[in-house]
Amino acid sequence: MAGLGQLLRNWVFYTMIFLIFGGIGAGVTNLLFEGIVGRPFDPVLYAVIFGGTGWIAYRQVASRTS
């Protein structure tokens, strides 16, 4: 069983992965959408894409490090 320090390090690491790659995925999608359509998309859609890409990145890293 992992100690509290290891659990805290994993939580911080996975949170950073989620934030970085979720932001990159949502930002790139937003830039593409604005370039094609000419207007920014709804913040709710941005949040959904951020969460989805962040979750995918988290799952990929978690499966490789476990």
Would the pLDDT of 65 be above 80? Answer: no
Would you kindly state where each structural domain of the chain is located, as residue ranges? 14-65
pLDDT in tens, 10-36: 889 999 999 999 999 999 998 998 999
Residue 1: per-residue pLDDT: 60
Q: Tokens 């094609």 belong to which residue?
A: 36
32 Cβ contact partners less than 8 Å away, ≥ 6 residues apart: none
Name the pTM for this structure.
Answer: 0.77
User: Tokens for 18?
Assistant: 């989620």
State yes or no: pLDDT of 66 exceeds 80.
Answer: no
